[in-house]
Amino acid sequence: MRRLGDLEAEIMDRLWKWDRPATVREVVDDINKDRELAYTTVMTVANILYQKGWLLRTKQGRAWLYTPVRSREAYSAALMEDALGASEDRSAALAHFVEGMTDDEVAALRKALRDAGRRGDSRGPG
Amino acid sequence: MSEALPVLGYAAVLGVLAPRLVLRSAWPHRAPRLAVAVWHALAAAFTLSVALAAYHLATPTEHLHASFVGFLHSCGLGLDRGVDLGLGSGQPDPGTAGRLAGALPAAVVGAVALSIGGHALRAWRVRARHRAVLDMVGRRSAALGAVVVAHGTPVAYCLPGRRARVVVSEGTLELLSPAQVDAVLEHERAHVAGRHHLPQAAADGFAAVFRALPLARHVRRQTALLLEMAADDRALRRHPGGVLATAMYEMAACRAPGGAFAVGGGTVPVRLRRVLGPRRPAHPVLRGAVAAVALAVPLVPLLVACPPAPV
């Protein structure tokens, strides 16, 4: 299961990098530069990616030409939008380092930091 | 009925007065994980009290008319009608009362349990969906022990649970120094290692059932804040407060302009001041006392409602 996901990412990675439609054969040949992988395995996973809605495909002769539905940047942007979503449910699901703040709060923090810097990092009111 | 009143009174104390007491204390911010346990003990004790009160209101006593079932009966809402229509007695069927006495408290506890389970499940689904995309577009960095997403906005978060992920955007790596990045990642790893999503799901689930209750509102917000503080403490083991505080400030300030995600009233201001301030962990004796109270609080309603039989 885990390996399948890794292979999915590997295939998407190549198609995004090449930025053009490609056949399963091209992908297999490129992966085989590093390690042995059966053509049918890659074909199966490419088909899964098509069914999951990650890839589009058009017939060229007897082979399928695969293209990513959206660019990597578009997915990354959507992912960050999802991560930054202000919904409270969302913030419970993804534990954020900081949440969004108002300009007034930011100004107050800047002052607190400046005061702490003046006081010195180690000293403080007991 | 007579047993129901003290239990209801205890529930009112827990639901309204106890939160004020805890909020006014200084120790929770010095022992955040203990404080999370105290808030959850209050929530558990409240649930138990309401369940026990429901039990006593539905239980037939000598003064049947004063009990909940007797009350329903006198209002013509006899739940026993279907069972003993032919009898036409003035007394509710004890069998029905017994069933109600069992069903009501079970319904209270069940509602809270279902709500917590529902929140945990919903959060799990959100994370699974997010992780599926993340694993495809993110770049795993062995050096950082995190997944890096190619995006300019400074973001850092984690997907807790099994198959956990700590995530940073390239914007974060550009904005912060290596030490700051490490402090942020350490904070996120603390969330994962501490399984902080579980107490948060419990708090959210409890809050959803008793929406209007002050305790519910506070349990939810305080759990979130205190878990952030616990994660800050973990990061502070390896990094000075100044590093963590400036990282917080930089990331928050970067996102504030435009205000697209500015919610205000968040946890950062109080966390930042705490991180910058002197480190004063709560005294062991105080911790012990608080822990004892946290353990005792849920036991009290049981003792009040079910006193040992007189000898």
**Would you call A93 an interface residue with chain B, using a CB distance cutoff of 8 Å?**
yes
**Would you call A1 an interface residue with chain B, using a CB distance cutoff of 8 Å?**
no
Q: From CA B215, how far away is CA A62, in angstroms rounded?
A: 66
Going from the C-alpha of B145 to that of each of A83, B135, B160, B166, the distances in angstroms are 19, 14, 14, 7
**Would you call A92 an interface residue with chain B, using a CB distance cutoff of 8 Å?**
yes
Distance from CA of B71 to the nearest CA of A (A): 41
Its ipTM equals 0.82
In chain A, where the domains are located: 2-68, 72-119
Q: From CA B284, how far away is CA B12, in angstroms rounded?
A: 30
Distance from CA of A63 to the nearest CA of B (A): 24
**Top-level CATH class of A2-68?**
mainly alpha
**Would you call A17 an interface residue with chain B, using a CB distance cutoff of 8 Å?**
no
**In this predicted model, what pLDDT tens digit does every residue of B205-229 receive, in sequence order?**
999 999 999 999 999 999 999 999 9
DSSP states along B238-290: HS-HHHHHHHHHHHHHHHSTT-TTB--S-SHHHHHHHHHS---PPPHHHHHHH
Is there a contact between B126 and A5 if contact means CB atoms under 8 Å apart? no
Instruction: Give me the tens of pLDDT residue by residue for chain A, a chain 126 residues long.
Output: 446 778 999 999 999 999 999 999 999 999 999 889 999 999 999 999 999 999 999 998 888 999 999 999 999 998 988 887 754 555 567 777 887 777 888 888 888 888 887 765 444 443
In chain B, where the domains are located: 4-305
Letter string b/e over residues B189-220, b meaning 16 or more CB atoms within 10 A of that residue's CB: bbbbebebbebbbbbbbbbbbbeebebbebbb
The two beta strands, B165-169 and A95-96, are: unpaired
Is there a contact between A99 and B268 if contact means CB atoms under 8 Å apart? yes
Q: Which residues of A touch B194 (CB under 8 A)?
A: none
Do B52 and B109 form a contact (C-beta atoms < 8 A)? no
**Would you call A107 an interface residue with chain B, using a CB distance cutoff of 8 Å?**
no
**Would you call A34 an interface residue with chain B, using a CB distance cutoff of 8 Å?**
no
Is there a contact between B263 and A98 if contact means CB atoms under 8 Å apart? no
**In this predicted model, what pLDDT tens digit does every residue of A93-115 receive, in sequence order?**
777 788 777 788 888 888 888 88
Q: What is the residue type of B139?
A: R
Going from the C-alpha of A124 to that of each of A115, A119, B25, the distances in angstroms are 11, 7, 21
Q: Which residue has the tokens 């400036």?
A: B246
